[in-house]
A and B are shown apart, each in its own frame.
Chain A
């Protein structure tokens, strides 16, 4: 499960195009409209010059002015409709294309919300961001123009071919001689550009990831004076992108040139062969002249099509990277019969649960314990013993490799993740705040909370006074680097958020560790009230939190060594006793 490989690793170009088509086909009615407008504009585009030719014959050449005004007015109307049909087809197509891009982006984002947490553990944020922006950009620019181009090219191609065949099948055959060459040339080029586009998008994603990380990590880069090193690394990645981009552009540049040459070649062939045929009296000179014009007309849409094909390849390269994510295995979809919980008691039980982040080595080994309704459970043990992992399992960020976790006596796998988490409140290790106002950040705990409830929660978390001291109070906007808000204050805000959520199960992960002791006492008091009637799991290093807990779980190397109350564990004279004596007791002595 850890390396969620995409199912269709070798999804072909045709497959990708088909998938894009699925999105487009939601707009069938409009697409039909676009198609109709393309036909109309093509027809009117031919009708105009034809009518002009007629007018020259009937009026100018004949020296007659009679009714010319009327004819010209008619022509003006033809051209008006021509322009309107052009405008409409573009107008609609832009709408369709951007709606498609919108749906793909939204779907990609929604998908990210459903991927298991471990998917994100080894992904660079910027690399994922590149898929939403740069890769989708390729799809967007292609859809805007290509669909119309392809429609009209195919139409013109068919029309011209018909006229050519009608004029002279023999010369048509001569003209068609270039088609196999063209086909081979296109194949040669696109087999290269396809690969290069993919490489280019991958390198771009890589670079995007690097930029994001180095911008986010400025504090470290600056204090460690690593600017030079980072720039060097950037240049290497930027150079990779340049190389792929260079060859992609060079090969792409070949296409119109190749088509141009073939175009000229067919022109020459028609002229030479036509000349020979004419000498032998097989065709008239007039036919040659008309035919060379049509040979040109014939290659232009071919030329356009081949160009569009290449643009399509760059879109495919982008779309594939988006589909790769869409094909990732989801956070194990909830079981079909999964129950939506509401108003639970909050009893949590682990039965022989084992789990490891990597395939090798268990992080948690056959763990069993039970936390009754309203109980507080302190997880104690050295750093990295597996305390955070237990929390990750309760919240189902990760699924156990074996064993079961019961919530109110029910296997948690049979409960929808969403409803399960709705029963929980969190204060996590990283007090993550969103850009937005303080009020919005607290309200994240319960979206329908009133302003007053938000402020009460802030007061309960002892955050009220510092918020009020800020110039904009609850409406202070937290920006990027959170200027003016300390790490400890961030924690207070995330506690307020948890208080507002009013959960049955409360999870405190090293929450109080960087708050000064005076504030902490006040928080303890608030938390004490909050914890009443809620099952609480706490990872804390403060002794009083631990000793007030109803139950202490002593964890080492992912195993449950001892459990019990502070008193009973001390009496047991085991690991906890040693831990207590070595650390807390000595610490107490120092403090005294």
Chain B
């Protein structure tokens, strides 16, 4: 199993923890023997010196066991916590490399459960194993050995029960691993409903759907409960059954013992001894089965973690960079590009071809759902085209290093996504070492500086997740500033000015023009499109017209319609 290989670096602390556990066990076994000697050599012989000497020895070794136990704690905690840390790290790094197709398979809520809850399960299991796991099998083995030494024939009466019980335990373990997997899946679901409710809280409030959502949550919560109850009950059935058969075997020992005593082949003392060993083995056995149950739960979790680690990121970085000469300033080419989203078969882009020359502004127009945003996402390689290719400065983007490619692109998506933290931290996403001047410059160009300046904490103002304490327009402008601070060679504005009023928008577009970058802008406004060097008019995934404003006005029926619709709007005012 892939997850087990994460134990490798901790072989030494694990071995240390296990040996310390053996020390404890040895002390535990030695003590009754010492006790016997205190009685035989001390008390029976009326020798107070021996009583005290052996008593002192007993005390000494119990401190030894104590010390071993304490040190074991450190090693066990060290190994398990680091194991958990490493797992989380690998999972997180893996997820950072995921493509959006991967995210379709592992929805966020599930990834979150796997990275916290499942890792915790494994971590707890390892800690427990390093502290007590060896004990149970050793006690069983020891007990069996002693019983065999006493009388092999009688011992067989219960030893024969052990293999079928082991088979039974393994069977239950397999079964409950499956049940626990379902528990974790239900947990994903609960997590998912919760997440959706948090992000949609405003809508839910607006429509007074609290009760409806509570009902939905309650249903998925109930499923989680039912699955948990199932899994736990299945595992808890094991111990009573196990105990019953072990106890029956004691009765068998008594029965055969009685016959053998009558035959004179065995002494009463031997029968008593074997009965005692059986009792001990039974104790150890129930502990053993408990451990197996914990392991079965861990098995479910480790499977889920393994699934994530084993997933192939289907979008991988190319190895090339553009050298100085090639990096001519942000030329973008689309060559016969078709695209459909992963796991769907609807083509949202069909045979797209166009070139945006360095420094040009290209406006992309089209009805909603015509493929404008999809087209944008191919440039920073959030997705790869299904046919054709996208090239930046003459090089297919698939050949370029992710970092290198994306560093040149300032992308402002439609929904302004901000992160918890200060405004400064959010702007620093664009350039981590940006100076105050650079921040102010970008903020001014994005027409957001005045707003920031009017906030009590200015650039240090803390934003909630998704920037909820800003208005839609403010969020958009902040995310534009975040892109501008990169000084990108390619700027992608995905209808990013939609929530801005016309005055602010005009100022913003003017400021952007000073940046020497190739700009692609999705817009609905003819007024914005008119200023562009080139207009792409899209319909149902195709570019149906392409050219300057005047050319389109003369040649495209749809463009004329759009123009007239807006003209109409303005005229009636």
B206 and A421 contacting across the interface, CB-CB below 8 Å: yes
B112 and A208 contacting across the interface, CB-CB below 8 Å: yes
Chain A, residues 486-506, CB within 8 Å of chain B (1/0): the string is 111101100001000100000
- The contact of B206 among A226, A264, A424, by CB within 8 Å, is A424
B244 and A83 contacting across the interface, CB-CB below 8 Å: yes
A221 and B96 contacting across the interface, CB-CB below 8 Å: yes
Interface flag for A181 (CB, 8 Å): no
Q: How far is the CA of A372 from the CA of B203 in the complex (A)?
A: 25
Interface residues of A in 180-236 (CB under 8 A from B): 204, 207-209, 211-227, 229-231, 234-235
Interface flag for B1 (CB, 8 Å): no
Chain B, residues 65-97, CB within 8 Å of chain A (1/0): the string is 110011011101110111011001100110111
CB proximity of A509 to chain B, nearest CB, Å: 8
Chain A, residues 249-281, CB within 8 Å of chain B (1/0): the string is 111111011101100110110011001101100
Interface flag for B413 (CB, 8 Å): yes
- The contact of B468 among A87, A121, A258, A583, by CB within 8 Å, is A121
B103 and A480 contacting across the interface, CB-CB below 8 Å: yes
B66 and A261 contacting across the interface, CB-CB below 8 Å: yes
| A488-B368 contact, Cβ under 8 Å, with A76-B251, A211-B115 | yes
Q: How far is the CA of A234 from the CA of B91 in the complex (A)?
A: 11
In chain A, what residue has the closest Cβ to B496? A514
A55 — which chain B residues lie within 8 A by C-beta?
254
Interface flag for A80 (CB, 8 Å): yes
Closest 4 CB pairs of A and B: A488-B368, A253-B73, A257-B69, A383-B473
What are 9 pairs between A and B in contact, CB < 8 Å? A84-B240, A109-B213, A121-B464, A134-B117, A213-B465, A264-B59, A383-B477, A419-B208, A487-B368
| A123-B569 contact, Cβ under 8 Å, with A63-B262, A87-B236 | no
CB proximity of B565 to chain A, nearest CB, Å: 5
Q: How far is the CA of A229 from the CA of B59 in the complex (A)?
A: 55
A543 and B573 contacting across the interface, CB-CB below 8 Å: yes
Q: How far is the CA of A75 from the CA of B202 in the complex (A)?
A: 66
Q: How far is the CA of A116 from the CA of B123 in the complex (A)?
A: 37
B206 — which chain A residues lie within 8 A by C-beta?
395, 421, 424, 426, 428, 507
B244 and A79 contacting across the interface, CB-CB below 8 Å: yes
B55 and A275 contacting across the interface, CB-CB below 8 Å: yes
Find the residue from B115, B218, B240 having the highest chain A CB count within 10 A. Answer: B240
A226 — which chain B residues lie within 8 A by C-beta?
429
A227 and B268 contacting across the interface, CB-CB below 8 Å: no
Interface flag for B373 (CB, 8 Å): yes
A544 and B569 contacting across the interface, CB-CB below 8 Å: yes
A125 and B199 contacting across the interface, CB-CB below 8 Å: yes
Interface flag for B570 (CB, 8 Å): yes
B243 and A257 contacting across the interface, CB-CB below 8 Å: no
B472 and A388 contacting across the interface, CB-CB below 8 Å: yes
| A60-B258 contact, Cβ under 8 Å, with A216-B108, A518-B565 | yes
CB proximity of B465 to chain A, nearest CB, Å: 5
| A106-B217 contact, Cβ under 8 Å, with A52-B275, A124-B465 | yes
Chain A, residues 135-178, CB within 8 Å of chain B (1/0): the string is 00100100010000000000000000000000000000000000
- The contact of B419 among A213, A223, A429, by CB within 8 Å, is A213
B501 and A383 contacting across the interface, CB-CB below 8 Å: yes
Interface flag for A542 (CB, 8 Å): yes
- The contact of B373 among A102, A133, A428, A486, by CB within 8 Å, is A486
CB proximity of A207 to chain B, nearest CB, Å: 7
- The contact of B214 among A113, A140, A288, A388, by CB within 8 Å, is A113
Q: Which of A18-26, A91-99, A450-458, A527-535 contacts B (4 or more CB under 8 A)?
A: A91-99
B243 — which chain A residues lie within 8 A by C-beta?
79, 82-83, 86
Interface flag for A333 (CB, 8 Å): no
B563 — which chain A residues lie within 8 A by C-beta?
591
Q: How far is the CA of A518 from the CA of B365 in the complex (A)?
A: 11
Interface flag for A434 (CB, 8 Å): yes
Interface size on A, residues (CB 8 A): 185
B566 and A517 contacting across the interface, CB-CB below 8 Å: yes
Interface flag for B498 (CB, 8 Å): yes
Q: Which of A4-12, A353-361, A406-414 contacts B (4 or more CB under 8 A)?
A: A353-361
A238 — which chain B residues lie within 8 A by C-beta?
85, 88-89, 92
A252 — which chain B residues lie within 8 A by C-beta?
73
Q: How far is the CA of A221 from the CA of B409 in the complex (A)?
A: 13
Q: Which of B160-168, B323-331, B338-346, B391-399 contacts A (4 or more CB under 8 A)?
A: B338-346
Q: Please name 20 further chain A to chain B contacts, defined as beta carbons within 8 Å, in addition to the given A125-B195, A225-B406, A234-B88, sorted by A numbering.
A: A60-B258, A98-B228, A123-B465, A215-B112, A218-B100, A224-B411, A224-B482, A229-B432, A234-B92, A253-B127, A272-B51, A275-B38, A275-B48, A384-B470, A417-B208, A483-B104, A509-B472, A516-B562, A584-B570, A584-B573
Interface flag for A304 (CB, 8 Å): no
B205 and A492 contacting across the interface, CB-CB below 8 Å: no
A518 and B502 contacting across the interface, CB-CB below 8 Å: no
Interface residues of A in 44-83 (CB under 8 A from B): 48-49, 52, 55-56, 59-61, 63, 65, 68-69, 72, 75-76, 79-80, 82-83
In chain B, what residue has the closest Cβ to A86? B240
B88 and A521 contacting across the interface, CB-CB below 8 Å: no
Interface flag for A117 (CB, 8 Å): yes
CB proximity of B243 to chain A, nearest CB, Å: 5
- The contact of B116 among A113, A122, A208, A388, by CB within 8 Å, is A208
Interface flag for B62 (CB, 8 Å): yes
Q: Which of B142-150, B170-178, B434-442, B523-531 contacts A (4 or more CB under 8 A)?
A: B523-531
| A113-B117 contact, Cβ under 8 Å, with A250-B77, A513-B499 | no
Interface flag for B225 (CB, 8 Å): yes
Interface flag for A309 (CB, 8 Å): no
CB proximity of B206 to chain A, nearest CB, Å: 4
| A483-B48 contact, Cβ under 8 Å, with A55-B254, A113-B213, A430-B202 | no
A130 and B73 contacting across the interface, CB-CB below 8 Å: no
Interface of A is mostly: helix
B84 and A242 contacting across the interface, CB-CB below 8 Å: yes
Q: How far is the CA of A544 from the CA of B268 in the complex (A)?
A: 105
Chain A, residues 572-584, CB within 8 Å of chain B (1/0): the string is 0000000100111
Interface flag for A418 (CB, 8 Å): yes
Interface flag for B113 (CB, 8 Å): yes
B73 and A235 contacting across the interface, CB-CB below 8 Å: no
| A123-B229 contact, Cβ under 8 Å, with A76-B251, A250-B74, A484-B341 | no
Interface flag for B131 (CB, 8 Å): yes
A426 and B248 contacting across the interface, CB-CB below 8 Å: no
- The contact of B261 among A63, A360, A591, by CB within 8 Å, is A63
Interface flag for A90 (CB, 8 Å): yes
Interface flag for A510 (CB, 8 Å): yes
CB proximity of A362 to chain B, nearest CB, Å: 12
| A242-B85 contact, Cβ under 8 Å, with A83-B243, A544-B573 | yes
CB proximity of A242 to chain B, nearest CB, Å: 5
In chain A, what residue has the closest Cβ to B46? A279
CB proximity of A353 to chain B, nearest CB, Å: 18
B526 and A591 contacting across the interface, CB-CB below 8 Å: yes
| A487-B414 contact, Cβ under 8 Å, with A242-B82, A276-B48, A518-B565 | yes
CB proximity of B319 to chain A, nearest CB, Å: 16
A28 — which chain B residues lie within 8 A by C-beta?
none
B561 — which chain A residues lie within 8 A by C-beta?
518
A483 and B344 contacting across the interface, CB-CB below 8 Å: yes
Chain B, residues 491-510, CB within 8 Å of chain A (1/0): the string is 00001001111111010000
| A231-B35 contact, Cβ under 8 Å, with A91-B233, A226-B429 | no
Q: Which of B186-194, B350-358, B511-519 contacts A (4 or more CB under 8 A)?
A: B186-194
CB proximity of A210 to chain B, nearest CB, Å: 9
A268 and B254 contacting across the interface, CB-CB below 8 Å: no
Interface flag for A317 (CB, 8 Å): no
B26 — which chain A residues lie within 8 A by C-beta?
none
Chain B, residues 460-484, CB within 8 Å of chain A (1/0): the string is 0010110011111110010000100
Interface flag for B272 (CB, 8 Å): yes
Chain B, residues 1-40, CB within 8 Å of chain A (1/0): the string is 0000000000000000000000010010001000100110
B268 — which chain A residues lie within 8 A by C-beta?
56, 60-61
